[in-house]
Amino acid sequence: MAKVKKTKKNKKVVKKNKLVHSEKTRKEKNKEIKAAPEPVVLQTLRGMKDILPEEQSFWDQVRKVSERLARDYGFSRIDTPIVEFSNLFVRSVGEGTDIVEKEMYNFITRGGDKATLRPEMTAGIARAYIQHGMQVLHKPVKLFSIGQAYRYDRPQEGRYREFHQINYDAFGELDPILDAQMIQVASRIVQNLGIKSIQVQVNSIGCPACRKEYRELLVNYLESKKQKLCQDCKRRLETNPMRVLDCKEDKCYQVAVNAPQSVDHLCEECRVHFKTLLEYLDELDLPYVINPQLVRGLDYYTKTVFEIWSGDEEGRKTALGGGGRYDNLIKTLGGEATPAIGFGLGVERLIIEMKRVQAKPYKAPRPRVFLAQLGDLAKKKSLKMFSELEKNGILVAESFGRGSLKSQLRVADWLGVEITLILGQKEALDGTVIVKNMATGVQEIVSAEKLIDIIKRKLKADSVIIYHNNGNQNGFSHVV
């Protein structure tokens, strides 16, 4: 490379280049700083929460009770996606509702579809009913679901942005006997969870025919009281006047109690339907109150609406669930006219209430046998022995990661198992196992081949749930 002469001019160029160079690095550095990944926010989004292992026994109990009643009352399980086309909810829940106006998680997919995280489950289930031609099935078609729903609401105790619902829906039956049965199922789920003190509220909001006349009467009445209504209700008066009736603002409640009541303005068909429902409820000895202000926050309802409430000592009331008929929804969505009824229970609210009344959560069967091992060969053999015990329906705990026998026996003690199996180097070579009775401390050596029969005889058990020690004192993770 030719040597550059250090002339005055050249010196200037070098200096300038140096400047440009240092300028560049600063720019590059800035760019790097800009490109640095944002720190991860290590918390859930507002209104959403993790369901930790120690909470799961309550969730298990809710699942167990609701699945059991679903089976007993002839409901089949259905699971639909959490995301649906937005207009499914706009069309079914209703444009003027709080859910559609303010609470939906809407987004555009990469493919350009307008999508929404479901704010409730019935719209998706109705869509699935039509999409899969379920109208040809034997009626009523009873469907049960459990899963997440999303509403961008103001979070507080019992109200979240991600929450879970148990949802029961039945399609194809107009007879109010089904309404009574649905109310019964909803109350039984709540009571079987140990929440005994509940109130069932019912009302009939009529069909489009009688509601038209009622709506006019209601609007006239509300117009005359407009000055006393909250800002939201002044707006609702235009968009969804029936929602004024269940506004939680005290001044609106004062207006609502004297408003014309839908039950007084039902057409003959709706009147007889409601009357017959009440007779069925009486027949079931199911206590209820008629709440004329009960209109529900979703537009698809017709005729029967109901809610299940609980109350605490301070008089605070919580809506644990609600539902009603929606005889026009399937037709509105493009299916053939099909009457339907359903309800949803809020799982988080049920669990809050279970805890408040000290209801029992699900008690998972605990392992009665512990498998301990010592030495490399024994460790290898114990893995297979564990799976043999499991295949034979014996509930076993282990702590394979721990080396010392002493620490494994400490875990066995902590678990309170009845039998500990010890597999050491000698036993692994001999094809035997030490069976230790934890209550008496007596140990016997048995043939590994006969182990299953011996343990079965000792336990006289047929449990099939297996637990693994997850190494912390919080307990065991359910793996079956």
d(CA 66, CA 45): 28
By rule CB under 6 A, what string of x and - marks binding of each residue 338-377 to ligand HAM? ----xxx-x-xx----------------------------
Which of 29-37, 114-122, 204-212, 266-274 is the region at the interface with ligand HAM (rule: CB under 6 A)?
A: 114-122
Query: Can residue 179 be called a binding residue for ligand HAM (CB under 6 A)?
Result: no
Query: Can residue 398 be called a binding residue for ligand HAM (CB under 6 A)?
Result: no
Q: Tell me the C-alpha to C-alpha distance, in Å, between residue 18 and each of 10, 15, 27, 31.
A: 12, 5, 14, 20
Burial class (CB in 10 A: 0-12, 13-18, 19+), 150: buried
Tell me the residue nearest to ligand HAM as measured from the CB. 346
d(CA 361, CA 316): 23
Query: Can residue 159 be called a binding residue for ligand HAM (CB under 6 A)?
Result: yes
Which residue lies nearer to ligand HAM by CB, 348 or 427? 348
Provide the minimum distance between the beta carbon of 195 and ligand HAM in the complex, in angstroms, as a whole number: 12
d(CA 365, CA 395): 8
> Among 124, 140, 292, 321, which residue interacts with ligand HAM (rule: CB under 6 A)?
321
Query: Can residue 167 be called a binding residue for ligand HAM (CB under 6 A)?
Result: yes
> Among 84, 120, 299, 398, which residue interacts with ligand HAM (rule: CB under 6 A)?
120
Residues in Cβ contact with 367 at an 8 Å cutoff, skipping those fewer than 6 apart: 395, 396, 397, 415, 417, 466, 467, 476
Query: Can residue 140 be called a binding residue for ligand HAM (CB under 6 A)?
Result: no
Query: Can residue 251 be called a binding residue for ligand HAM (CB under 6 A)?
Result: no
b/e per residue 156-171 (b: at least 16 CB within 10 A): eebebbbbbbbbbbbb
Which residue lies nearer to ligand HAM by CB, 159 or 456? 159
> Among 58, 59, 75, 160, which residue interacts with ligand HAM (rule: CB under 6 A)?
160
Which residue lies nearer to ligand HAM by CB, 214 or 326? 326
DSSP 169-237: EEES---HHHHHHHHHHHHHHHHHTT---EEEEEEE---HHHHHHHHHHHHHHHHHTGGGS-HHHHHHH
Query: Can residue 299 be called a binding residue for ligand HAM (CB under 6 A)?
Result: no
Query: Can residue 94 be called a binding residue for ligand HAM (CB under 6 A)?
Result: no
d(CA 105, CA 279): 41
d(CA 361, CA 475): 16
Provide the minimum distance between the beta carbon of 211 and ligand HAM in the complex, in angstroms, as a whole number: 18
> Among 94, 176, 322, 367, which residue interacts with ligand HAM (rule: CB under 6 A)?
322
Please report, as a single letter, which amino acid is at residue 467. Answer: Y
Which residue lies nearer to ligand HAM by CB, 348 or 398? 348
Provide the minimum distance between the beta carbon of 41 and ligand HAM in the complex, in angstroms, as a whole number: 22
For 408: left if phi > 0, alpha if psi spans -120 to 50, otherwise beta; the answer is: alpha
> What is the crossing angle of helices 122-131 and 86-93, to 10°?
110
Provide the minimum distance between the beta carbon of 84 and ligand HAM in the complex, in angstroms, as a whole number: 13
Sheet holding 302-311, edge to edge: 76-77, 141-150, 162-171, 340-346, 317-325, 302-311, 198-204, 289-290
Which of 70-78, 158-166, 251-259, 417-425 is the region at the interface with ligand HAM (rule: CB under 6 A)?
A: 158-166
Provide the minimum distance between the beta carbon of 120 and ligand HAM in the complex, in angstroms, as a whole number: 3
Query: Can residue 436 be called a binding residue for ligand HAM (CB under 6 A)?
Result: no
Provide the minimum distance between the beta carbon of 316 and ligand HAM in the complex, in angstroms, as a whole number: 14
Which residue lies nearer to ligand HAM by CB, 117 or 397? 117
> Among 140, 206, 292, 323, which residue interacts with ligand HAM (rule: CB under 6 A)?
323
> Among 207, 244, 320, 421, which residue interacts with ligand HAM (rule: CB under 6 A)?
320
Query: Can residue 241 be called a binding residue for ligand HAM (CB under 6 A)?
Result: no
Q: Which of 101, 170, 181 is nearest to 140 (CA)?
A: 170
d(CA 123, CA 90): 10
Q: Tell me the C-alpha to C-alpha distance, in Å, between residue 103 and each of 98, 100, 228, 252.
A: 7, 6, 26, 22
> Among 96, 147, 260, 297, which residue interacts with ligand HAM (rule: CB under 6 A)?
297
CB 168 within 8 A of CB 342: yes
Counting residues that bind ligand HAM (by CB under 6 A) gives 25
Residues that bind ligand HAM (CB under 6 A): 120-122, 151, 153, 158-160, 163, 165, 167, 169, 297-298, 319-323, 342-344, 346, 348-349
